[in-house]
Structure 1
Amino acid sequence: MPLVTYEQTRPWANAIAHEVQMKMMPPWFADSRFGHFANDPSLTEQQISMISAWVAAGAPAGKSLDAPPAKEWAKGWNINQPDLVVRMPKSVQIPARGEVEYTYEIVATHFTEDRWIQMSEFRPGSPAHVHHAVVYIRPPDSPWLRHAPIGEPFTASTLKDPAEQRQAHETTSDLLLVYAPGSSPDQWPDGMAKFVPAGSDLVFQMHYTTNGTAAEDQTGIGIVFAKAPPKQRVITLQLNNHALIIPPGADDFRVEVQGTLPNDATLLSLFPHMHLRGKRFEYDIVHDDRSVEVLLRVNYHFHWQLSYRLAEPRLLKAGTKLRAIAWYDNSKNNPHNPDPTKTVTWGDQTSDEMMVGFFDVAVPAGMDKWKFFERNGGPQSP
């Protein structure tokens, strides 16, 4: 429920005091010893003391003349009022129970010219059922899912071509936007934006979970275009380890992956993704002398999957070695664990696990993902 007015907030005063004293709210899970982040909503000790004193005094309303003017919100959006809203053309029927295969819906943009996107935000049609969602940018020359239907939902198993069934989860297309519970919209600094070539399609990849109530979903995204062509293009990269095997009962199981940047890039933000057994996640730079610099360490919370935006974007030179480490709790002491007796491997469903360290970087505007991964005279797989 919203806590915008005094009348809405007063009944929750004691709960608010408890949550802020325990530093559970506002939600923020980064270890304060590492990094500084522009979107850190953490309260200062003075602010926590002020809230605690207000509650202890009976949570009085105060003088209405001292109240700030009511904030005006763009209806339904946290970004500026979108220039364009793109919705999945057809709704998806979600059953009350059982597992739901990844569902796709391809939407033609009909862009007649290249466009630069500075802000974007997901609006799930049924937030209670959307485990996570990704929108990919499919350029007009991409062969990915070319025989799949346009404008209607489908899954990999409904595709006739076995090769396309396998390719559904495997693409080198750039990501426009990723959504998970608690995630925030993308808002890039002036002079930076994501690129959508003329004639591209947007491919919605939806992961639904059931909760005992049937529903339908017709997710959309809001888009704000850059006012002028930017100097830098934002691309989303990732470090992931598909080979994870988490033993039954393991309470602090470690998985890592490393990668080396082939070209200079400016690091903008970090977004870790795991499932219900996720415990901690860390991004590091491993220097040539083998010393380790921690960029981000979070105590992972599945229901608050946040993006951590650097307070000062950081230039990373070609050859920088990045490392992501994830720890998992597959024990009975993890209250979110669906089955501590199970050996857990990579998989799409929430009862499986993932280890993905998304990170956003800015590169020259004329460089796409394929050019970024060219080094030593030859391309490297992203």
Structure 2
Amino acid sequence: MALRDHVGRSGGRLVRLGALAAVALVGIATARYREPLIAQDTAPTFTKDVAPILYKNCTTCHRPGGLGPFSLVDYDSAKANIDDIRDAVRSGFMPPWHAEGPHGTFSNDRRLSDLEKSTVMRWIDAGAKKGDEKKAPAKPVYATGWEIGTPDAIVTMPEDFTVPAAGTIEYQYFEIPTNFTEDKWVSAIEFMPGAREVVHHVLVYAKVPAPANAAPAAPRPAGSPAPRPLFVRKPQYDSPEDPPRQDVRNGPPSRLGVLIGGTAPGTNVMTFPKGTATRIRAGTVLTFQMHYTAHGHEMKDRTSVGFRFATEMPDEEMRMGAYINGAFTLPAGQKDIAVTADLEPTEPIKIWGLLPHTHLRGTRWKYTLDKPDGTSQVILDVPRYDFNWQTYYFFKEPLDVPAGAKLVSTAWYDNSATNKHNPDASKDVKWGDQTWEEMQYTGYLFTVPSRRLKPAAK
């Protein structure tokens, strides 16, 4: 996955609004305000009506020391930026959310409700009054540094990597032992780049090296069936072989292991739903796949990953995977080009979250569940895909996918000159790591009911 700088937006104030926040978190913010919002007959005030909305939806980024360009924790700062707030709320540009579907479909839905929008707009139109300080809710308190609080374990790159001022940087791979002496159940993962400006994605893989004196695996008895894979192999979607590597440093290891987490613009913390956790085995070695992009001046990065451990074994083990179509061509100058891929399990699974990913030519996504009985339903529709806000869409209730069903992903691309983000409309475009190339990639989080760790509640 290649990840680029925030792409500029046209249209007056929305250019500035593109910096309203740099990262949207999948994890749940430290502070939550769950009191029902009731329509007011009188003009709303900051303390009584607006602060609860901002604290619930905005101050994760818009706080002192946060990633937003200004704080919304205090009245004075909020009032000083009411023009930006008005435009962001009216347009739906903030909080960032690009999927369709009713409220309640996704557990991490960042959209304001109609009542919340109306309250903020009425407050601004009525003069943005402060109100009675005694009616203000408690200000949210956020952990400093790590959003998940102090991690139970931190794994860090062994040394700094120097990102040059210019040029193409091939993916860099760093293997780091965890030194875990027992299996760990992880309930949340957070990524902490050392130089966020040049880190455009991190993927973390986990493997347990075989002991040096381990006996070779016994061959399968003659005539016995091969183990059935969990998913049907789709060779027609394979991506082309990587070109010969030019950089001899930090190349990929012979075995990456299983994917356990990743970060990209819009996703920095992964908090797994209650009753689930991902397992990291004793003796695991992590591999960080780092995608760096030069920013005009040399910088040093030393990325860390923090883990919060579950207090007990979960009901289900959360697993992570990805499926792609790497065999496409986007013809030069053409727009609205559809590229599909599908995931087909051989036994029932539950899908908990989906992450659509394309590069600068991607415009929209749609996912359908095509069932063996011939019925089909749309389960995720992202009509306004934004490369700068790549969201893991967590379903409030997991999606049951029966054996033989297909989870079909369709991404649309604009490779024409009318796409202002297009690096070069004169060239055919294929799969590739760099941002000026393209991808059709879906990350997904899933559990397998037949492999539950605890019996299901009756």
TM-score scaled to structure 1, two decimals?
0.86
Q: Which whole-Å deviations, capped at 9, do the CAs of 1:97-141 have from their partners, x for residues lacking one?
A: 211110111110011111111111111222221221101112223
Aligned mates of 1:72, 1:276 — CA distance in 2: 36
In the TM superposition, 1:1-382 aligns within 5 A as 1-3=69-71, 4-32=73-101, 36-141=105-210, 157-158=246-247, 168=252, 173-298=257-382, 299-363=384-448
SS of 1:203 mapped into structure 2: strand
When structure 1 is superposed on structure 2, of 9-18 and 270-279 the one drifting more is 9-18
- Pair 212,158 (structure 1): closer, same or farther in 2 beyond 3 Å: closer
Aligned mates of 1:361, 1:211 — CA distance in 2: 36
One-letter amino acid of the structure 1 residue matched with residue 372 of structure 2: D
Aligned mates of 1:182, 1:76 — CA distance in 2: 18
Q: Which whole-Å deviations, capped at 9, do the CAs of 1:164-222 have from their partners, x for residues lacking one?
A: 96xx3986722111111011411112321111111111110011112223211111111
One-letter amino acid of the structure 2 residue matched with residue 325 of structure 1: T
Residue 2 of structure 1: how far off its partner (Å): 4.0
Structure 2 unaligned residues grouped into runs of 5+: 1-68, 213-243, 454-458
One-letter amino acid of the structure 1 residue matched with residue 315 of structure 2: K
SS of 2:335 mapped into structure 1: coil
Residue 35 of structure 1: how far off its partner (Å): 8.3
One-letter amino acid of the structure 2 residue matched with residue 39 of structure 1: N
One-letter amino acid of the structure 1 residue matched with residue 74 of structure 2: T
When structure 1 is superposed on structure 2, of 65-74 and 192-201 the one drifting more is 65-74
SS of 2:320 mapped into structure 1: strand
Aligned mates of 2:423, 2:103 — CA distance in 1: 32
Whether contact under 8 Å (1:88, 1:105) holds in the other structure is: yes
Q: Which whole-Å deviations, capped at 9, do the CAs of 1:35-65 have from their partners, x for residues lacking one?
A: 8101111111221111112222232222222
Aligned mates of 2:156, 2:120 — CA distance in 1: 41
Larger Rg: 2
- Pair 170,364 (structure 1): closer, same or farther in 2 beyond 3 Å: farther
Aligned mates of 1:339, 1:307 — CA distance in 2: 28
Query: Which residue pairs with 2:10 in the alignment?
Result: none
Aligned mates of 1:58, 1:264 — CA distance in 2: 56
- Pair 343,229 (structure 1): closer, same or farther in 2 beyond 3 Å: same
Whether contact under 8 Å (1:87, 1:218) holds in the other structure is: yes
When structure 1 is superposed on structure 2, of 7-16 and 322-331 the one drifting more is 7-16
SS of 2:372 mapped into structure 1: coil
One-letter amino acid of the structure 2 residue matched with residue 193 of structure 1: A
Of Structure 1 and Structure 2, the greater strand share is in 1
Aligned mates of 2:254, 2:343 — CA distance in 1: 19
When structure 1 is superposed on structure 2, of 121-130 and 18-27 the one drifting more is 121-130
- Pair 52,253 (structure 1): closer, same or farther in 2 beyond 3 Å: same
Aligned mates of 1:46, 1:124 — CA distance in 2: 37
- Pair 222,189 (structure 1): closer, same or farther in 2 beyond 3 Å: same
One-letter amino acid of the structure 1 residue matched with residue 319 of structure 2: I
Whether contact under 8 Å (1:102, 1:156) holds in the other structure is: no
Whether contact under 8 Å (1:231, 1:365) holds in the other structure is: no
Aligned mates of 2:446, 2:168 — CA distance in 1: 34
Q: Which whole-Å deviations, capped at 9, do the CAs of 1:289-340 have from their partners, x for residues lacking one?
A: 4442111011210000011000111222222211111111111222211111
Question: Percent of counterpart pairs with the same letter?
Answer: 36
- Pair 157,111 (structure 1): closer, same or farther in 2 beyond 3 Å: farther
SS of 1:20 mapped into structure 2: helix
Aligned mates of 1:37, 1:109 — CA distance in 2: 33
- Pair 321,34 (structure 1): closer, same or farther in 2 beyond 3 Å: farther
Q: Which whole-Å deviations, capped at 9, do the CAs of 1:346-377 have from their partners, x for residues lacking one?
A: 11111111111111001269689xxxxxxxxx
Whether contact under 8 Å (1:34, 1:297) holds in the other structure is: no
TM-score scaled to structure 2, two decimals?
0.72
SS of 2:386 mapped into structure 1: coil
Aligned mates of 2:253, 2:417 — CA distance in 1: 31
Residue 33 of structure 1: how far off its partner (Å): 6.2
SS of 1:21 mapped into structure 2: helix
When structure 1 is superposed on structure 2, of 2-11 and 275-284 the one drifting more is 2-11
Residue 158 of structure 1: how far off its partner (Å): 5.0
Structure 1 unaligned residues grouped into runs of 5+: 144-154, 369-382
- Give the paired residue count: 352
SS of 2:318 mapped into structure 1: strand
Whether contact under 8 Å (1:260, 1:319) holds in the other structure is: yes
